[in-house]
Amino acid sequence: MTTAYISHNDCALHDMGPEHPESPSRLAAIINQIQGTELEQMLEFVRAEEIQRVQLQRVHPEMYLRQLDLISPERGRVMADPDTIIMPHTLRAARLAAGAVSQGVDMVLSNQVTNAFCAVRPPGHHAERSKTMGFCFYNNIAVAACQALTFHHLERVAIVDFDVHQGNGTIDIFNDDPRVMVCSSFQHPYYPFSHYHNLGENIVNVPLDAHTDGKTYRHRIERDWLPQLETFKPQLILISAGFDGHRLDPMAEMNLEDEDYGWITERIVEIAEKHCNGRVVSSLEGGYHLEALARSVEAHLKALAGMKP
């Protein structure tokens, strides 16, 4: 089993300001956590490449892409929405983030690696077809799913989103698309307060109360996600890997621990091994307490690499 770690230093150039939680320090915390460990020796480190415009156009209308180009400043910072700030290096970082996840799909589906983790930012799962939201510009995971469906001609792709905030953008893009099953677990009611009712049969929402602990979380995943994924029989599983459900994270009120992220990753890998030769591509979404983020990603990576906790 080979696990690729796909990233790029320029993802850290996107900086929304010293007080913004989605900071460049997130990627530094992750790499510092795994440096000098056995895990580091097992990973295949890959330099991310920028996404192509045509790949973005499979998900986002050209008018939306042009709007982002137009508001991108030569210096300073501009509010793209109340939570999301664009600055001179933002779109370069966003193109690398989206490119990394599609690159992971290409590597996994061509059997270069078994699975992949994309340590990238800005995140993507809140970005709707024509709307920035929640620190997101391009929907990285949706772009990667379309790469699998369009370029690689897959018929069934599952997207598993365990960020503490619902992946509203991914649901907006794939609602009622039978080729894509979207499983999203999230604190409810909570941001983004949308895409909860009147959804297609391909959307599996798992709303969770504030202060949900690991035991309850695991029960809900086993009851609500795993049977649906077994029935769907995905040819590829993509993960929107948000670690902000950790009990230490300041952005929500869930009580998950590092090992819960290892556990859910193990369950995803088991389904992938059963139905799609272990093909999994994971992309970083949320996670804002730096120590908890780094430890949780380490647990996630160990499960992807087949290491014991």
| H or E element at residue 27 | helix 25-34
The amino acid present at 108, given as its one-letter code, is: V
| Ordered mean pLDDT values, 10 residues apiece, the chain (309 residues) | 96 96 98 97 98 98 98 96 96 98 98 98 98 98 98 98 98 97 97 89 97 98 98 98 98 97 98 98 98 98 93
Identify whether the C-beta of residue 144 lies closer than 8 Å to the C-beta of residue 238.
yes
Active site residue 20: no
Is the pTM higher than 0.85? The answer reads yes
So what's the pLDDT on residue 308? 82
Catalytic position from the list 8, 125, 126, 289: 126
What's the fold here for domain 3-305? Arginase; Chain A (3.40.800)
Question: Cis omega before residue 189 (within 30°)?
Answer: yes
Of all residues in the chain, what percent are helix, strand and coil, respectively (each to 5)?
Answer: 40, 20, 40
Q: What 3-state DSSP class applies to 155?
A: coil
Which one-letter DSSP state was computed for residue 52? P
So what's the pLDDT on residue 85? 97
Domain ranges within the chain, ordered by starting residue: 3-305
So what's the pLDDT on residue 195? 87
| Cβ neighbours of 196 (radius 10 Å) | 16
